[in-house]
Structure 1
Amino acid sequence: MTLSRGFPPPVSRFRRFFPSLSVALTLGSALSGCMVIRDSYDVPPVDLPEQFQGSPALKGTLGDLSDQGDQATPASSAAPAAYSVPLGTALPTWWHLLGSEELNRLVDRALTRNPDLRMASLRVSQAEARYEQAFATRLPTLSTTVSGRADAPKDGTGSVSPGADITSERAFSAGLQASYRVDLWGERKATAEAARFRVWQAVLARDDTQKTTVSDLVGSYVDYLSFQDRLRVARETKDILSEMLKAVEERMERGDATILDISQQRAAVRSVEATIPSLEFQAAQAAHRIAQLCGTTPSQLQLGSAGLDSLKLPMVLPGVPSALLLRRSDVRAAEANLLAADADIDVARARVLPTLDLSAEIGQASTHMISWLQPENRMWNLVSSLSATIFDHGAREQAVEQTRARHEELTEGYISVIYTAVRESEDALSRLSFGTRRQTLQQAAVDASQDAVDQSRDSYRYGATDYLTLLDTERTLHNNRDQLYQVIRDRYRGAVDVFSSLGGGVELSDRLPGDGKRPDDLLSGKDAGTIALPEAPAEQPRPTADLADHQPAALGTSGQATPAPVDGGWRVVLPAVYSRSALDVAWRDLQAQFGDRLNGLRLYALALQDTDTPQGDGSADLARRWFRLSLGPFADKSTAQTMCSSLSRDGLRCSVSDVQ
């Protein structure tokens, strides 16, 4: 048997290569046990007090203060709360404690459609892709090439004699190439580990965006309700002063009042009227802010005219451990970023050391197409290469120092985030505590002003006091009532800040995966605290679906799980959601806005991530998964497009797809 030119017999060539290959593999196996990466990464402990400094100030301020406004009960005389719930249970959906169905619907819409939240979710997808890329570098790569070449003159330039014909030579080849870098020092393992930590950082940063979105939305809603109360007070005051103006005009006709009295009363009416447009503008601004947070336009959002008395005021009981802040999403995100920087140190250290590359190729090559695939034209090779940098002016050593300095910087940043969280929590608790005292005192001022107005009216009726005194008491009452609703609003905003500063608005994640020391050890065996309520919170409907990996499940319009049909059909594809709880929120939002259009349709949810593969961790470590949503089934494409157009007009992005 003959072989093509340039390729010795495979057996003899393999015999010559085998000793060097054996040495390379033996060396790789031996050095693999000398990896420079560490088995675990630690998070430095941060000393925190047992409880917040502002917690004792909350004592004696609890009770049913849901009857706000002029009939608000002073906190000092309030009865004890009738119901309490564990703080850890209430924090993920703390806005439900306020008892407003309208607010619950707004939060559902924001969690489903807020653009910032969607962008944060897409950044998780980017981090997942980078992690998959880093994991893939740990495995061999396989590639293929097919080539054809023609060279003339056959023996090279200048080889043709004068007058001779130019001949050409053709060559054809095809083969498979495999390459693999032995991870002697754990560089690629550490790179994948750092990328995995950054997936967690992206997930937790998304959670922090959700926490901030919920807090901003509830705060804006409280502002909106407060402006409705202040508008009501201004309009009531205007009506009262207008009636008084008529009475003064009648008294002037009888000679009991002067033109100055009428002018002063008319000025008082106009002064109150002038405040109404300003309050209406501020209420409109709050509504516009709510629409933006809900991912829609103001024209597509209808808000009621209720006031702050439509909300209940939950209170955080004293005794909340400050270590609870270590589970805040922004603190956890900084923790994950710190772990990634620690893994980067191992990557930089490993890059200082030699590298071992292995490659192999097998294929067919021939100078004639007709004999290209004949056995005698087979070729193959095996190559091992151990390389090391002898001198690079200290560039790699400085790269190690740079990663260490970066880790130290992020350590300080992690500590700073924790101290910022402590400050925000202390500020929120103080705002809530001082707001309670302010409300009590301001309510007393309103009561005293009302008594003064009643007495001034009686005195003026009998001529015992002048009109200017009556007018001053009316103005004082109006200002005190308006100020009372501002104080009540600040108190509600204080409650919002407390829940947000404690990490409310997202599911509190468990200990970050992996070995090593974690700050969660500080929370071991500690009670997270309690929230006091004037009454038991209403049960919130929560549709459930029995979802399996990569298996579509359907939610019927009743919210019950139903088997997904197998006959396909056309569907309206909705934006994907991130996490199982977001699936429930998306379904509630659809029912709230499009309930009458969903008759006969189901919501299908398809889990997009496979957590059974070795590279399937990352965000799955933190119990997060993507779900693709679709509505259907529709009999034909035109019907599905009609539904999609209807949903789009109401601000919901969608597309049409044939599941077949």
Structure 2
Amino acid sequence: MRKSLLSLAIASLMLSGCSLIPEYLQPASPVAQAYPQGPAYGPNESAQVAEAEQGWRQFFHDPALQQLIQTALVNNRDLRVAALNLDAYAAQYRIQRSELFPKVSADGTGVRQRVPGDLSQTGKATTSGQYSATLGVSAYELDLFGRVRSLSEEALQTYFSSEQARRSTQLSLVANVANAYLTLTADQELLRLTQETLKTYEDSLKLTQRSNDVGVASALDLSQARTSVESARVALAQYQRLVAQDRNNLALLLGTSVPDDLVANKPLADDLLEELPAGLPSELLQRRPDILQAEFLLKAANANIGAARAAFFPTISLTANAGSSSADLSNLFKGGSGSWYFSPTISIPIFNAGELKASLDYSKIQKDIRVAQYEKSIQTAFQEVSDGLAARQTYNQQLQAQRDFVTANQDYYRLAERRYRTGIDSNLTFLDAQRSLFSAQQALITDRLAQLTSEVNLYKALGGGWVENTGQKTADPATPGQFSE
């Protein structure tokens, strides 16, 4: 038995390097080597690649927003599920990897049996016993053609993809919290603007009411002034609702209640976010976790082809044990009671109605699907970054034009109010100036929100930053319990 075990062990070691996994070749990038250029994208400047990765704390300057993001990273349930999924895939990898090693077990059995006389060969009732204690392995597959190692490699690459899925969830969470905070801030600013405008409209209505009482203003003027007031009240209810819903959305992302001191009424500042450099090379898209996730899944599919190929070859498994057996428990470990059992088995596929060939074809098709998904993730990322660069440049131009438009409307409103109060112009011109100013101020806040949101989305599109990742490490999946919070 010792010679047989030694021979099998030597054969297994000699063939341990055998692998039927195809050589992995990274698919070529299906996008251009640089982002689009033109008036919509601004000047073509070269990005300065730093030595360290830019974190979200450096991008988001607002201390309140930083604290909200930190709270979400601790309490958000989607991120918690992603971390637990990572633990689950690590456990699955350890399960699959364990198949590379024999499972040694110690077993003990004991049987006492009474046979009645009419069933006994001697015609008398007999009582017998049998006891055994063994140590051995059961159905251990000698991985001569790399089937088990291919499955282990597939599980490892799937684990790596789940790590990128967790990163993608975290990146989306940071961006979503930032956008929710910006939206709440903008809606609160719009609510304040509406409250101030409503007060102005009500004052104008009172003035028009007094003018109507003395016969200076017509009933039409009074009706038009009342229309402006009611329109502002409609907008007031709308923004009150939006502010409440914005807080609820932010609370869901945080995973806890929203601290009032962190979302106090304040305008959208100009220095909330770090400015992103232009002219970013498309290779930086390889930092995006969704692209890395797609590539790891492609590698997993590639490894699965090796397992499907190995299924065409014989499978050798080994069952063996050694121990002691005796009819009496007291003699179980005495001399002469030793026993052993050795049972190697080999299974050679001969006819399976094309099942193995179909399995191999399926594995190859799955790899082709993963290639297409990987390429699509790169194309999507390239589009998102290009859209973000275009949005940044054009929003800057639009915001400046909108600020000039608000200034012009403020001048129009002051002149119209002066001419109305001195009786030069009718109430219609004054009301038109009020509405134009209110609309322009609303549009300025909305455009500012859109501009900031586009910057956050560009930050997300770049994979959480805009510099090369020089030292990212992935945790060892063979170490349990290191991902759960």
Instruction: Work out whether the TM-score is over 0.5.
Output: yes
User: Aligned ranges for residues 406-425 of structure 1 at < 5 Å?
Assistant: 406-425=366-385
CA–CA distance in structure 2, aligned partners of residues 271 and 207 of structure 1: 46
Secondary structure of 2:349 counterpart: coil
**2:131 is the counterpart of 1:169:** no
Deviations 1:138-164 (A, max 9, x none): 111101211111334389x84457xx4
Counterpart in 2 of 1:282?
A: 242
Counterpart in 1 of 2:104?
A: 142
Normalised by the length of structure 2, the TM-score is 0.90
Describe the shift of the 1:491–1:305 C-alpha distance in structure 2 as closer, same or farther (beyond 3 A): same
Secondary structure of 1:475 counterpart: helix
Counterpart in 1 of 2:174?
A: 214
Secondary structure of 1:233 counterpart: helix
Offset at 1:209?
0.4
Counterpart in 1 of 2:20?
A: 36
User: Aligned ranges for residues 269-418 of structure 1 at < 5 Å?
Assistant: 269-297=229-257, 303-309=263-269, 311-418=271-378
Secondary structure of 2:278 counterpart: coil
Contact (CA 8 Å) 1:200, 1:618: kept in 2 or not? no
Contact (CA 8 Å) 1:100, 1:310: kept in 2 or not? no
Secondary structure of 2:238 counterpart: helix
Describe the shift of the 1:506–1:196 C-alpha distance in structure 2 as closer, same or farther (beyond 3 A): farther
* Residue type of the alignment partner of 1:104: Q
Deviations 1:485-510 (A, max 9, x none): 11111111111111111111799756
**Greater helix share, structure number:** 2
Identity among equivalent positions (%) equals 26
**2:31 is the counterpart of 1:48:** yes
* Residue type of the alignment partner of 2:395: G
Root-mean-square deviation over aligned CA pairs: 3.1
**2:140 is the counterpart of 1:178:** no
Describe the shift of the 1:243–1:28 C-alpha distance in structure 2 as closer, same or farther (beyond 3 A): closer
**2:467 is the counterpart of 1:501:** no
Offset at 1:323?
1.5
Counterpart in 1 of 2:87?
A: 125
Offset at 1:60?
6.5
| Match among 45, 52, 57 for residue 40 of structure 2 | 57
CA–CA distance in structure 2, aligned partners of residues 55 and 134 of structure 1: 52
Contact (CA 8 Å) 1:91, 1:499: kept in 2 or not? no
Offset at 1:54?
5.4
* Residue type of the alignment partner of 1:177: G
* Residue type of the alignment partner of 1:167: T
* Residue type of the alignment partner of 1:148: G
CA–CA distance in structure 2, aligned partners of residues 88 and 464 of structure 1: 67
Counterpart in 1 of 2:402?
A: 442
* Residue type of the alignment partner of 1:368: D
CA–CA distance in structure 2, aligned partners of residues 442 and 205 of structure 1: 40
Offset at 1:61?
12
| Match among 55, 58, 62 for residue 92 of structure 1 | 55
Offset at 1:617?
7.2
5+ long unaligned stretches in structure 1:
1-13, 63-83, 514-578, 580-608, 620-624, 629-660
Contact (CA 8 Å) 1:58, 1:317: kept in 2 or not? no
* Residue type of the alignment partner of 2:443: Q
Offset at 1:185?
1.0
Contact (CA 8 Å) 1:61, 1:433: kept in 2 or not? no
Offset at 1:197?
0.8
Counterpart in 2 of 1:565?
A: none
Deviations 1:169-197 (A, max 9, x none): 21111111124322111122222111111
Describe the shift of the 1:627–1:617 C-alpha distance in structure 2 as closer, same or farther (beyond 3 A): closer
More displaced stretch, 45-54 vs 489-498: 45-54
CA–CA distance in structure 2, aligned partners of residues 388 and 506 of structure 1: 54
Describe the shift of the 1:106–1:184 C-alpha distance in structure 2 as closer, same or farther (beyond 3 A): same
CA–CA distance in structure 1, aligned partners of residues 79 and 271 of structure 2: 26
Number of aligned positions between the proteins = 483
Secondary structure of 2:141 counterpart: strand
Describe the shift of the 1:237–1:86 C-alpha distance in structure 2 as closer, same or farther (beyond 3 A): farther
Contact (CA 8 Å) 1:366, 1:372: kept in 2 or not? yes
* Residue type of the alignment partner of 2:40: A
Offset at 1:316?
2.4
CA–CA distance in structure 1, aligned partners of residues 137 and 181 of structure 2: 61
Secondary structure of 2:325 counterpart: strand
Offset at 1:90?
6.4
Describe the shift of the 1:473–1:405 C-alpha distance in structure 2 as closer, same or farther (beyond 3 A): same
Describe the shift of the 1:26–1:453 C-alpha distance in structure 2 as closer, same or farther (beyond 3 A): closer
Contact (CA 8 Å) 1:55, 1:319: kept in 2 or not? no
Describe the shift of the 1:99–1:248 C-alpha distance in structure 2 as closer, same or farther (beyond 3 A): same
Secondary structure of 1:177 counterpart: strand
CA–CA distance in structure 1, aligned partners of residues 101 and 469 of structure 2: 31
Secondary structure of 1:308 counterpart: coil
Offset at 1:105?
0.4
**2:109 is the counterpart of 1:151:** no
Secondary structure of 2:55 counterpart: helix
Counterpart in 2 of 1:432?
A: 392
Contact (CA 8 Å) 2:52, 2:468: kept in 1 or not? no
Deviations 1:555-606 (A, max 9, x none): xxxxxxxxxxxxxxxxxxxxxxxx9xxxxxxxxxxxxxxxxxxxxxxxxxxx
Offset at 1:253?
4.8
Contact (CA 8 Å) 2:61, 2:271: kept in 1 or not? yes
**2:213 is the counterpart of 1:229:** no
Secondary structure of 2:177 counterpart: helix
Contact (CA 8 Å) 1:91, 1:503: kept in 2 or not? no
CA–CA distance in structure 2, aligned partners of residues 193 and 443 of structure 1: 58
CA–CA distance in structure 2, aligned partners of residues 107 and 397 of structure 1: 51
CA–CA distance in structure 2, aligned partners of residues 301 and 141 of structure 1: 59
Instruction: Between the two structures, name the one with larger relative contact order (CA 8 Å, sep ≥ 6).
Output: 2
Deviations 1:177-220 (A, max 9, x none): 12432211112222211111111101000000011111111111
Offset at 1:354?
1.0
Offset at 1:135?
1.4
Secondary structure of 1:318 counterpart: coil
Contact (CA 8 Å) 1:211, 1:506: kept in 2 or not? no
Contact (CA 8 Å) 1:432, 1:495: kept in 2 or not? yes
Contact (CA 8 Å) 2:132, 2:326: kept in 1 or not? yes
Counterpart in 2 of 1:491?
A: 451
* Residue type of the alignment partner of 1:194: E
Secondary structure of 1:145 counterpart: strand
Contact (CA 8 Å) 2:164, 2:293: kept in 1 or not? yes
User: Aligned ranges for residues 546-561 of structure 1 at < 5 Å?
Assistant: none
Secondary structure of 1:381 counterpart: strand
Secondary structure of 2:126 counterpart: coil
Secondary structure of 2:366 counterpart: helix
CA–CA distance in structure 1, aligned partners of residues 244 and 261 of structure 2: 12
